[in-house]
Chains A and B, each alone.
Chain A
Amino acid sequence: GEDVEQSLFLSVREGDSSVINCTYTDSSSTYLYWYKQEPGAGLQLLTYIFSNMDMKQDQRLTVLLNKKDKHLSLRIADTQTGDSAIYFCAEKQGGSEKLVFGKGTKLTVNP
C-alpha cells in the first residue's frame, strides 16, 4: 500500500519541543520530506532526508529516520506560536517522482 500515517493533532506549550511522528509503508522510498502548511497558504518544504541517513539537523529542526521500522519524526526545538500549522510527512517511492503524503498533523502552540 501507499499509506503514510500521521497523528492528526498535537498541542504543545510555547518554548517546549514538539515531536511529530510519521510511519510509511514503502521500503523502497528514497527520500522523506516534511512540509508545513499555514492557514490559507501553500506547502512550504521544511526539510528532507535521504533514506540512507538516520538523522538530519537544520537549526531548530531535527529529523530522525528509522528505516527498519519505517518511522520518521520531526522535532521542533523551542516551539513558537509561529510554528502553529499543519505538518505533512511525504515519501518519494523508488522509481517514482510523485510524493505520497500523510493526512497532516495540526500543531497548536499555546502561549
Chain B
Amino acid sequence: DSGVTQTPKHLITATGQRVTLRCSPRSGDLSVYWYQQSLDQGLQFLIQYYNGEERAKGNILERFSAQQFPDLHSELNLSSLELGDSALYFCASSPSGTSTEQFFGPGTRLTVL
C-alpha cells in the first residue's frame, strides 16, 4: 500500500458525460501527478500540481482539467467523454515539486460506453 488513495475504483458512464476522479496523496506529500494508462498509448503523464498550483502539463486534452485543493487532495475532471477515454487513471504523489520518487495509487478504471 503506497498511501495514495483514489476513488472511485471503477466508473462506468456514457459518451458525452462528465466525471470527477479523486485522489488523496500520501500524508505530507505536496505534489500530485495524474497519468492515463490505455492499451494503445501505454502510461502517459497528464498533469502535475504542487501545493495547489499547476506545475507541469503533459498530454492532457482540453476536455480534461484538474485541480489541487488546500487540503492537498486533487480531482481530475473529464468532460464530453468519448469511447477512447476509457482507461485506467493513476494518481501519484511525491514530497516536493522535484522529488526523486513518485508513489502511485491503485487507479480508477473508467469505462465509457
The residues of A with any CB-CB pair to B shorter than 8 Å are: 31, 35, 41-45, 48, 88, 90, 92, 96-104
Cross-chain contact A103 with B42 (CB below 8 angstroms) = yes
Q: How far is the CA of A102 from the CA of B41 in the complex (A)?
A: 10
B105 sits at the interface (CB 8 A): yes
Q: Given A97-B48, A97-B97, A98-B33, is A45 in contact with B103 using a C-beta cutoff of 8 Å?
A: yes
User: Are A42's CB and B55's CB within 8 A?
Assistant: no
Partner of B104 from the list A44, A48, A92 (CB cut-off 8 Å) is: A44
User: Can you spell out 15 A-B residue pairs with CB atoms less than 8 angstroms apart?
Assistant: A42-B2, A42-B4, A42-B107, A43-B43, A43-B90, A96-B56, A97-B33, A97-B55, A97-B97, A98-B33, A99-B35, A99-B43, A99-B102, A101-B44, A103-B42
Partner of A100, one of B31, B45, B92, B100: B45
List residues of B (82-113) whose CB comes within 8 Å of A's CBs.
90, 92, 97-98, 100-107
Closest to B57 in A: A98
Query: Counting CB contacts under 8 A, is B58 at the interface?
Result: yes
- Cα distance A54–B76 in the bound complex, in angstroms: 38
Interface of chain B, main secondary structure = strand
* Cβ contacts under 8 Å, A42 to chain B: 2, 4, 90, 104-107
Q: By the criterion of a CB under 8 Å from any partner CB, how many residues of chain B are at the interface?
A: 25
On whether the beta carbons of B56 and A44 are closer than 8 Å, the reply is no
Contact yes or no, B104 A43, CB < 8 A: yes
Please indicate the chain A residues that have their CB under 8 angstroms from the CB of B107 in the complex: 42
> CA of A100 to CA of B35 in the docked complex: distance in angstroms?
10
Residues from chain A with a CB closer than 8 A to the CB of B98 are 97
Q: Once the chains are docked, how many angstroms separate the CA of A48 from the CA of B99?
A: 13
> Is there contact, CB below 8 Å, between B2 and A44?
yes
- What's the Cα separation between A75 and B102 when bound, in Å? 22
The reply to whether A31 and B100 contact each other, CB–CB distance below 8 Å, is yes
Q: Which residue of A lies closest to B58 (CB)?
A: A98
A41/B100 in contact, CB under 8 A:
no
Beyond the given A43-B90, A101-B42, please list 9 additional residue pairs across the A-B interface where CB-CB is below 8 A: A42-B90, A42-B104, A42-B106, A43-B92, A48-B100, A97-B33, A97-B98, A98-B48, A103-B42
